[in-house]
Structure formats: structure tokens, C-alpha cells
Amino acid sequence: MSFLRSRFVQAVVVLIVCFVLFRFGIQPPAPWSVITLYMAIILIAILAFVSSDADSWRSFLTPLRDTVVKPERRLLRMVLMIVMPLLLGYYAYTQAAAKPQAPPELRAVHPAPPASIQFRGKEINIQGIDNPLRKDQSAFKQHVAAGGEIYIRNCMYCHGDNLDGQGHFAHGFSPPPANFVDPGTIAMLQEAYLFWRIAKGGPGLPKESTPWNSVMPAWEDRLTEDQIWQVIMYLYDATGQQPRRWESH
């Protein structure tokens, strides 16, 4: 066991024991950055210790120097000269290689609406229809006011009291609730499109909109046909946006 008296062997043993302790002795496992930091501190401590007096320092360096210059260590030297660059190269490769990543969620935010939907047992055309409540201009204010109440009761928690998608619950959801003030939402859509989305919600989205994790509820069992048209009128009135027209108009 005389080789255990060599400073170099002692240093290596201490390093290995410390590494095993840090890696497997800490629960829950310490992150690599912490282990690397601890190992660097241990290495500095060992170097300080072995270099504390001249004999110990010489004893520490002897095996290193022997490996570099002694003829009988030629084989070891050659092996090291091949293995060390390979290890370094492998390390550089693992750092530079592209890491596998989850694919970005590609989701059609505004998929094409169906031609028609079933609403409480009645077929409602989505393609080409306009908001029927807009025909009677005199009732406009009334409908918007009713729509505002419906909004505050049902939609505000997610879509926000400023209609900007910043409701109380908004931060818990991905995708986030639509921001109606943003020109990329209702301003680009026909009212009939909104009718479909409000009636059928997240569950009614077609395949292009997967992943299906929209929390937008389906309102068809809670709001009547007129109530949905009213809340739509409120959305446009409150944000100052205009609904998109069907091309033929």
C-alpha cells in the first residue's frame, strides 16, 4: 500500500470520494453547476494542502513528471495523448451539439369556421350571415347594454374588464384568453365567426387548433342565441372595432 503514501494518489482519492459524496450523497440531487463549484473548491483546497511544504509538493509532482519524461512510462504517455484529446473533443461536442427540443406548438389561432353549426337543436349558418340584431338600429343601445351585462357576468374573469385578455384567471391559461383590443382578434373576424367560437368554445375547435388546451368555454347551453349576438355587439362597441364584412357585401 506504499502508493497510498503518494501525495498524488491521495489527492486523486480525495477528489473521487468528494465527487461521489456530492453526486450521490445529497438528496434531492444537487444540480451540476453546484457540484462543479464544490469540486473546484475541493481542488483548490487540495492544491493548497499539497503545496504547503516543499517535500509534499515534490511528492505530488513526481508521478506527473515521471509520466511526462520517464522512458518506461512511454505506453501510458501515448495512451494519455490519445485519450485526453478524445475526451476534450467529446466534451466540446456535447456542449456544441444541438439539443433535442420539444417542437414549438403550432396552432391555428383562427381556423376556418364550419359552414353551419347545431345550436340547441337548430341549424345556424355561419358562412355568410350577419348579426340579425343589427337590423333594428333603434335597439342598438339596448343590445349593447345587455351584452355588457352578459360580458361582466360571464367573460370578464378571463377576457378582462378592459377586454384586453388580462382577467383574474388569465395568467393561469395557455393559450391565454383572447385580447379583443388587439387588432389581431375580433377586428379581423366576422360576427358569425365569433358566434361560432362563443357557442362552441375551445371544445368546438377543429383539428388545426390542436393542442386542444383552450379553456374558452362553450356557451351554447348557458346563453341564448340573442344573448350571444348581444355580447358580440358589446365586444365591438366597447373596443371601438368594426367586424369584418363578408366579401360579397
Which residues bind to ligand HEC, rule: CB under 6 A? 110, 154-155, 157-159, 169, 173, 175, 177-178, 185, 194, 197-198, 202, 214-217, 219, 231
133 in Cβ contact with 229 (< 8 Å): yes
Dihedral angle over CA of 196, 197, 201, 205, nearest 10? 90
Q: State the minimum distance, in angstroms, from the CB of residue 219 to ligand HEC.
A: 5
CB of 143 to ligand HEC, least distance (A): 14
Q: For ligand HEC, which is the closer residue by CB, 10 or 185? A: 185
CB of 20 to ligand HEC, least distance (A): 49
Q: How many CB atoms lie within 10 A of CB 220?
A: 18
Nearer Cβ to ligand HEC (66/164)? 164
Q: What distance in Å separates the CA atoms of residue 114 and residue 103, rounded to the nearest whole number?
A: 28
Q: How near is the Cβ of 243 to ligand HEC at its closest, in Å?
A: 11
For the bound state, the minimum distance from the C-beta of residue 235 to ligand HEC, rounded and expressed in Å, comes to 6
Q: What is the CA radius of gyration of the chain?
A: 35
* Cβ-based neighbour number of residue 137 at 10 Å: 7
**Exposure class string for 181-217: b at 16+ Cβ within 10 A, else e:** beeebbbebbbbbbbbbbbbbbebbeeebeeeebebb
Contact predicate 126/206, CB 8 Å: no
Task: Decide whether 7 or 159 has the Cβ nearer to ligand HEC.
Answer: 159
Residue whose CB is less far from ligand HEC, 148 or 177: 177
Q: Is 18 or 223 the residue whose CB approaches ligand HEC more closely? A: 223
